[in-house]
Amino acid sequence: MEQTVNYIQEKIKEFKPQIGVILGSGLGDFADDFESIIIPYNDIPGFENSNVKGHKGQLVFAEVNGKRLVMMQGRYHFYEGHSMKTVTFPVKVMRKLGVETLIVTNAAGAVDGSFIPGELMFITDHINFMGTNPLIGMNDDSLGTRFPDMSEVYSKDLIEIAEETAEELNVEYQKGVYLSTTGPSYESPSEIKMFRMLGADAVGMSTVPEAIVARWSGMKVLGISCITNYAAGISDSPLNHQEVIDTANRVKENFKKLLAELIKKI
Ligand code: HPA
C-alpha cells in the first residue's frame, strides 16, 4: 500500500483528490472531458493487470467544477477471477490519498418492473448476494474497524443532493436497493423473482464490495445505477451484454451532465 500511494503521489505531485468516482460499464467517457493526469492500472505497483474489453483500466486525476477528482476508468470485477482484495484495493488507495467521498456507478438490470431501461437509480441500500465479503481477513486498523456499521452505506445527504440535481436537470431517476451477484452469468427468472421478494430493485455484478470498503474506511458513498435492461423474466426478451452497453451509451450524456453538476454541490 505504501509503495502504491508513494508511486501515485509522485505522479500527481500537489494534487490531493477529494472525491473518488468509479465509472461503470459504458460510463467511462466522463473522465475524457477534462484536462487530467492519467495512470494506467498496469503501471501501478500493487494493482493487478486489467484486461476487460470496453474498460480502459486507468486512474484519471482531474479538477472538475472546482473539485479534485480521482476517477477509475474501468474497475476490477470479481467475475474476472480477481480476489475481493484486488477488486477493492483501489478504494483503499483512494482513501489513503485523502478521498472523503466515493461516487460509485454501474450498469444494472431492473428487478422492479416499473423501472424503464435508460433511467438512473440512486442506490438507497444494497444486498450483498456475492457469498463473500471484501473485509474478510486481517483488519487494517489504519483504515477502519473490524465490525463496521452498514446501516447507512449510501449517504442520505448525498442522495438528497443527487435528487435535487436530477430535478434541476430534468433527468428521470428512481431510488432503490441494488443487489449484487458474482456473475458472470445473468440471472435466471426464478432468481430474479427471489431477489424481488428479498427487496431488490436492481441487480448487477459490482459496486457492493467497493461500497462496503469505502464505508468501512469512513467515506461517504453515493451509488448510481444506470438501468440498462429488464432483468431476466421481467420482460420476455433474452439478455445480452451489447444491450447493456448500448443503453449505457444512450444515457451517457444525461449521466455525465448529472455527475458534473452534483460534484459542484458535494
Ligand atoms: N443482471 C446482472 N448484471 C447486470 C444486468 C443484469 O440484468 N444488467 C447490467 N448488469
Cβ of residue 248 lying under 6 Å from some atom of ligand 1: no
Instruction: State residue 52's pLDDT score.
Output: 59
State the 10-residue block means of pLDDT for the chain, 266 residues long.
Answer: 97 97 89 93 92 76 97 95 97 98 97 96 98 98 98 98 97 97 97 98 98 98 97 92 89 94 95
Q: Residues 143-196: pLDDT tens digits?
A: 999 999 999 999 999 999 999 999 999 999 999 999 999 999 999 999 999 999
DSSP 8-state secondary structure symbol assigned to residue 9: H
Task: CATH number for 2-265: choose from 3.40.50.1580, 3.40.50.150, 3.40.50.720, 3.40.50.1980.
Answer: 3.40.50.1580
Annotated catalytic sites, by residue? 25, 55, 77, 79-80, 107, 205-206, 229, 241
Q: What separation in angstroms does the CA of 193 have from each of 12, 87, 126, 232?
A: 47, 28, 17, 9
pTM of the model: 0.96
User: Which residue, by CA, sits nearest to atom 6 of ligand 1?
Assistant: 109
Using one digit for the tens of pLDDT, what is the confidence trace for 36-53? 999 999 999 999 987 655
**Domains of the chain, residue spans:** 2-265
Question: Helices marked H in 24-155 — which ranges?
Answer: 84-96
